[in-house]
Amino acid sequence: MQIVITGGGGFLASMLVRRLLDCGVAGKPVTRIITIDLVPCPVIDPRIESIVADIGERETLVRAISPDTGAIVHLAAVVSGQAEADFDLGMRVNIDATRQLLEHARGLGTRPRFVFTSSVAAFGGNLPERVQDDTRTLPQSSYGVQKVIGELLVGDYTRKGYIDGITLRVPTISVRPGAPNKAASSFASGIIREPLAGMEAICPVSTQMRMWLQSPDRAIDNLAHALALDGALLGNDRTVNLPGLSVAVGEMIDALRIAAGEAVTRLIRFAPDPAVERIVASWPNDFDAVRARALGFVADEDYVSVVRAHMASTGSASPAGQNPPA
């Protein structure tokens, strides 16, 4: 099986690439992965072809997508903060490039599996305490609007028989490894990751701000599951609200304290940023996700485990007195 992954240079894509090469899809080995991104795929494996290019360029897609393409995972996006700051860039990448990709998938004539990632930013306005599977989308950011437009297109291309599409509304990923990015939610990883690395972290929102979170490991479980899932189970609604954890920023810091000790948490400095507050506060922070669970999608058990898994994967120090002997 041959898979194309956009945004293939990112950390989530790298993890997905490793998972797919190791485990295949639904028992079938993955023989080739073609990544498209502005940076190369950091995973080194002879089965990987890493195309360093703009997904908005037609030639890139012509080169990447061939009759052998069995599935496409579309992760590339201009993230929330950036799409708000640069409206035209967000429209070009999040809408136009998504459409081009869908057109190329349609052109194959083979109805390939197409996995698209949307976001909690699809929701906004007067939200119920917990978002239900039939809660309407009312995005209050350009990123959210662009993601919902992608969901609609994936749904219609599927209904028309051009692709076999699934959109996952992915919770905010925490703890995301690597450097901060331009997502308004970047701090939701930074306030754990930076202190564990001995660095100061800026928290632009209050401890009361509640978020809907998922660890990178569970996100990969869910992306891999979406590649293997029988599309017919989704009926006439190809968009799935993933399960996750509803965690307040204060609870995230408590979990960091439990996993890594009090001293580490003192590296978090609060510096309110009204622009970030406004965007993040417009997102829902709790979901029912009954349908996703029934379809086999998964969530983390609790946020302390999420912090511990991040520490294990990065080799972060355990709190004093709990260090294993060197």
Contacts with a second copy by CB under 8 A lie at 87, 124-126, 134-140, 142, 145, 148-149, 152-153, 155-156, 159-160, 235-237
**Least spacing, CB of residue 233 vs a second copy, in Å:** 15
Q: Report the alpha-carbon distance of residue 231 to residue 234 in Å, rounded.
A: 6
The nearest distance, CB 146 to a second copy, in angstroms, is: 8
The residue behind tokens 């201009």 is 78
3 state DSSP class of 246: strand
CA distance 101 to 26: 24
Residue 149 CB, nearest approach to a second copy (Å): 5
Are β-strands 268-270 and 32-37 bridged in parallel, bridged antiparallel, or unpaired?
unpaired
Residue number with CB closer to a second copy (67 or 128): 128
Between 75 and 122, CB nearer to a second copy: 122
Distance CA 320, CA 263 (A): 10
Q: How far is residue 9's CA from residue 51's CA, in Å, rounded to a whole number?
A: 9
Q: Is 121 exposed, middle or buried (0-12, 13-18, 19+ CB in 10 A)?
A: buried
Smallest gap, in angstroms, from Cβ of residue 186 to a second copy? 22
Cβ nearer to a second copy, comparing 2 with 98:
98
- Closest C-alpha to 55, from 34, 70, 71: 34
Residue placing its CB nearer to a second copy in the complex, 208 or 236: 236
Q: Which residues, in sequence order, are bridge partners of residue 168?
A: 117, 240
- In angstroms, what is the minimal distance from the CB of 166 to a second copy? 15
The rounded distance, in Å, linking the Cα atoms of 131 and 111 is: 31
φ/ψ region of 74 (left if φ > 0, alpha if ψ in -120 to 50, else beta) reads beta
CB 310 within 8 A of CB 260: no
Catalytic residue among 143, 157, 162, 303: 143
DSSP 57-97: SHHHHHHH--TTEEEEEE-----HHHHHH-HHHHIIIIIII
User: Given the complex with a second copy, which of 283 and 303 has the nearer CB atom?
Assistant: 283
Q: Which is nearer to a second copy, 8 or 81 (CB)?
A: 81
157 is catalytic: no
Q: How far is the CB of 99 from a second copy (least distance, A)?
A: 8
Active site residues: 143
